[in-house]
Amino acid sequence: MALTILGLSGALSHDPSAALYIDGKLVAAAEEERFVRDKHAKNRMPYESAKFCLEFAGIKPSDVDVVAIPFAPISLFDKARWHYARRYWYAPDRALDAILTGNRRYQRYRTRIQWCLQQLGFDLKKVRIEAVEHHLAHASSAYHCAGFQEKTAILGIDGKGEYATTFFGWGESGQIHKIKEFYDPDSLGGLYGAITEYLGFEMLDGEFKVMGMAPYGDAARYDFSRLARFENGELTINTDYANVIGFRRYKDKGKGYYFSPKLVEWLGPRREGDVADEPYIHYAASMQALFEKLALQMMDHYLGDIIRETGRIAFSGGCALNVKLNQKIIARPEVKELFVQPASGDAGTAVGAAAYVSVRRGVPVEKMEHVYLGPSYSNEDVIAACARHPQKPVWKRIDDVERRIARIMVDGHPVAWFQGRMEFGPRALGGRSIIGCPSAAGVADRINEQIKFRERWRPFCPSMLDTVAPQMLKVDHPSPFMTFTFEVNEEWKGRVPEVVHEDGTSRAQVLERRHNPRWYDLMLELENLTGNGVSLNTSLNRRGEPMVCSPTDALNMFYGSDLRYLIMEDILVVKDGMDGYDPL
């Protein structure tokens, strides 16, 4: 009998997702936002994503042994709820709520999951729902998917789960051992999120933008040390300034923020608009520097001995997507390998909860080697979508796709690239990408201004052949998921300038052919034409929208931008018809 486990996330009212393990193999995983076309899919349940997973595997709800959810009740005898109440003393209604009805959010979530399962056709009398603590699910998504055989240090940093915000532990022989947790409001991820809001971005979405803005500023210009400290093994956030609730929140136009009026008194008005200007670039740099310093201090304090012993780290939680911190971690001589869960945010907890339950039931899970876990579409599906689309796309079925698309790119054109199964997690890794030739001057600006409609100062990333990485990057470390930045060797800064950031680094995807042959072969064609086996790669979406999922999504995005070329499987769509088209 196969062990079939469906993981469902969405407890924290954002980023619902579903993941399906059958006998330890991750068969399918997808985020709800991609199907409902609503970024982060706030206040939704993972209905469409779960439906996809079941249909892809060809199974019925009755075939599922366990539904694993990454959120669990927390005992009153645990210090988490008391810590929350004590630190939020200034909001007595919230503090008392944590003590008296501290699992209300869990009960509400479980009820909504049961409703979602009923809509999917599950019999609630027969299905078993197993709750896994949120940070344990994050830890499992990193450790169990890393494939490390040795004893492994496990680190989890995010905004918060039930009450925990930070997890330190270790894994060995498939078992996870908890060393220490920090609790809300003492959250490094929460602090970064609060400053993200102050800098004019959306929490959960804009943290990448703060990280991208930081290299333009000077961290030494402003001392942010008053915001947080790590002493005697404890992290303390200064709730006079950030991670605030109730009346302490700064309010503007009816919206409350996670920082206080006191922060505005200190630093000036909240930033607005798209320009990376002073003093805000320096604030971004100072926040990033404080974040890195505290994260490394905490890691050393709780995990240093384990890391020195084995050199292996598994990292998850939203803050694991901070690639600058990850660059600092892998630069340490005692670190042999860092595995960062590619879907480190809350969407990844569906994988983590399901993996944790699988291991607990005696079925170990496979190493996660790729993220091509979503839907795929045939040429016939693509042609049907073109036939239905109101713009009446002009399309042509082509052979030798990689060579022809490489020619279009080398001529300076960005291309929408839609191939194979959709990626799981926030990174476009060659399934749903906008691509360009990184030696074609101005292609990054063109994508920013005409297609992505996003801030000019945000960097673009390279995907590259595994044979190119040792030449281009200064550090040799596996990077299949774009979870690290690397310093770029001087010669390559001139060869592929469109994918090198202000600080001389690149957030690289290093390819192995076996996981996505067509994507790899495109790089080979670029190498033949330009000498550089590297592509500029950004997600196939417009600003504020989720990455595209279906051919119809791709066509909608294509006609809502200035892109001229869209390749979906073997079907090439060219805007303004095929006049003069000859990418041969």
What is the domain-level CATH number for residue 566? 3.90.870.20
Q: Which of 312, 330, 360 is the last residue of a domain?
A: 360
Q: Are residues 115 and 249 in the same domain?
A: no
Does one domain contain both 34 and 137? yes
Q: Is the pLDDT of residue 380 over 70?
A: yes
Same domain assignment for residues 515 and 479: yes
| pLDDT of amino acid 584 | 47
Shared-domain flag, residues 212 and 336: yes
Domain count along the chain: 3
Quick one: 393 and 505 in the same domain? yes
Burial 280-304 (b: 16+ CB within 10 A, else e): bbbbbbbbbbbbbbbbbebbebbbe
Phi-psi region of 32 (alpha: psi -120 to 50; beta: other; left: phi over 0): alpha
| Rounded mean pLDDT, 82-107 | 96
d(CA 495, CA 164): 45
384 located within any domain: yes
Same domain, 417 and 349: no
Tokens of 245: 């609730």
Is 582 within a domain? no
| Confidence grade of residue 502 (pLDDT, cut at 50, 70, 90) | confident
Q: What's the confidence (pLDDT) of residue 581?
A: 54
Within a domain: 372: no
Find out whether 375 and 550 touch, Cβ atoms under 8 Å. yes
Please indicate, yes or no, if residue 583 is contained in any of the structural domains. Answer: no
302 and 348 part of one domain: no
Res. 296: pLDDT tops 50: yes
Q: Are residues 129 and 232 in the same domain?
A: no
Q: Which amino acid would we find at residue 343?
A: A
- Is 133 within the bounds of a domain? yes
- Region 221-241: mean pLDDT is 98
DSSP string, 167-206: EEEEEETTEEEEEEEEETT--HHHHHHHHHHHTT--TTTS
Residue 160 lies in a domain: no
The pLDDT of residue 71 is 98
Is residue 41 situated within a structural domain? Answer: yes
316, 332, 360 - which closes a domain: 360
CA-CA-CA-CA torsion sign (454, 455, 458, 464): positive
Q: What is the mean pLDDT of residues 338-365?
A: 98
Task: Tell me what the mean pLDDT of segment 200-205 comes to.
Answer: 89
Name the least confident of 109-113, 222-226, 274-278, 402-406.
274-278
Closest C-alpha to 69, from 132, 138, 2, 139: 132
**pLDDT at residue 275 greater than cutoff 90:** no
Q: What does the H/E/C string look like for 374-431? A: CCCCCHHHHHHHHHHCCCCCCEEECCCHHHHHHHHHHCCCCEEEECCCCECCCCCCCC
Span 249-270, mean pLDDT?
Answer: 96
Question: What mean pLDDT comes out for the span 74-82?
Answer: 96
pLDDT at 458 over 80: no
Residues 334 and 393 in one domain: no
Whether residue 107 has pLDDT greater than 90: yes
> Residue 269 pLDDT > 80, yes or no?
yes
Same domain, 503 and 521: yes
576: tokens are 């303004």
Q: What is the pLDDT of residues 537-563, one digit of tens each?
A: 999 999 889 999 999 999 999 999 999
Do residues 222 and 351 share a domain?
A: no
Is the pLDDT score of 437 beyond 90?
yes
**Containing domain of residue 222, as a range?**
183-340
Q: pLDDT tens digits, residue range 392-403?
A: 999 999 999 999
Give the chain's mean pLDDT.
95
- pLDDT tens by residue, 465-486: 999 999 999 999 999 999 999 9
Q: Could you report the per-residue pLDDT of 19-68, keeping only the tens digit for each? A: 999 999 999 999 999 999 999 999 999 999 999 999 999 999 999 999 99
CATH number, position 94: 3.30.420.40
From start to end of 59-139, where are the E strands?
A: 66-69, 128-131
For residues 414 and 328, membership in a common domain is answered with no
Residues in the chain, overall count = 584
Residue 582 has pLDDT above 70, yes or no: no
| Residues 6+ positions from 367 with CB-CB distance below 8 Å | 145, 146, 147
Angstrom distance (rounded) from CA 234 to CA 547: 38
Q: What is the dihedral of CA 344, 350, 352, 358, to 10 degrees?
A: -160
The verdict on residue 177 lying in a domain is: no
